[in-house]
Structure 1
Amino acid sequence: MEDQDNIIAFGSFENSMEASLAKAKLDAYGIPCFLTDENLASLYPIQNPRFSVRLHIFQKDEAQVREVLTETVVLAEEDLTRCPRCQSTRVEYGYSKKLSWRLASILLSLFLVLFPPKKTGHCLDCDYEF
């Protein structure tokens, strides 16, 4: 078998919804792909670095997949989320990056059977969480 026919893990996603969106986009372009570890990521939502959903593709399609998945959708300036501190639009959403908050939320959800913690905004320019 040639190196071009090898299946590689292209990337990992925080949850199955994001992974399914990427897979749907690749399917729309006719690029064969599949997901793994969807069930583990759904069962253990707080342990995402350990249990992330992985997207697998053929090695020969890697350049095309990278191009398709990095296409950006142009949004109107008013539709973009801004950092309240520095007004930057370079914002990502996820679980808190503060270690103390992550540990407290893990312990509380284990002992009190609470739902996973709420996702917060994180500014990539000034590291402010909101």
Structure 2
Amino acid sequence: MNNDHDLVKIAAFFQPMDAYLLKTRLEAAGITCFVFDDLTVSANNYLSNAVGGVKVYVSEKDAAEALEIINVEPEEESVCLNCGSKNLRFRRTPIWVHLGSLIVFRLPFLLKGTWECEDCGDRW
């Protein structure tokens, strides 16, 4: 029996976080969706491939709109939190910090770096 309440899988992810990010985008567009196997994968990460990943389902009537939303990349324009400028620069953490932490603590600190606003000098 096929009706509007039948669920259709529209995406599967290796990590639950990615499925919940998609769920947030879909719900912001007014589409009700459900995430399956997130708890299984959260408890046993290595089972993700065995269960087919963390799956996102929507009702059949919303599937076309949901797939359209999936195929549109969200705009990621970073702005300074202090002044609103878009004139930003990313500064990588120097390699000596990573090597120093590995030597001193016998474990690397995986620091990605910081963003710096070219206009006001704010860093985060």
TM-score (normalised: structure 2): 0.54
Q: Distance in 2 between matches of 1:59 and 1:68?
A: 15
SS at match of 1:5: coil
Gaps of 5+ in 2: 78-124
Q: Distance in 2 between matches of 1:18 and 1:3?
A: 28
User: Residues 48-67 of structure 1, C-alpha deviation per residue, up to 9 Å, x if partnerless?
Assistant: 21132111110111110000
Deviates more, 1:2-11 or 1:38-47: 2-11
Check 1:75–1:23 CA distance in 2 against 1; reply closer, same or farther (3 A cut). Answer: closer
Tell me the number of residue pairs that the alignment of Structure 1 and Structure 2 aligns: 77
Q: Supply the RMSD in Å over aligned alpha carbons.
A: 2.1
Moved over 6 A (4+): none
The Cα shift of 1:75 comes to: 6.1
User: Residues 82-126 of structure 1, C-alpha deviation per residue, up to 9 Å, x if partnerless?
Assistant: xxxxxxxxxxxxxxxxxxxxxxxxxxxxxxxxxxxxxxxxxxxxx
TM-score (normalised: structure 1): 0.52
Which has more radius of gyration? 2
Q: Distance in 1 between matches of 2:27 and 2:60?
A: 16
Gaps of 5+ in 1: 77-130
SS at match of 1:46: helix
Q: Identity over the aligned pairs, expressed in percent?
A: 25
Q: Distance in 2 between matches of 1:48 and 1:2?
A: 29
More helix by share: 1
Q: Distance in 2 between matches of 1:73 and 1:2?
A: 33
SS at match of 1:55: strand
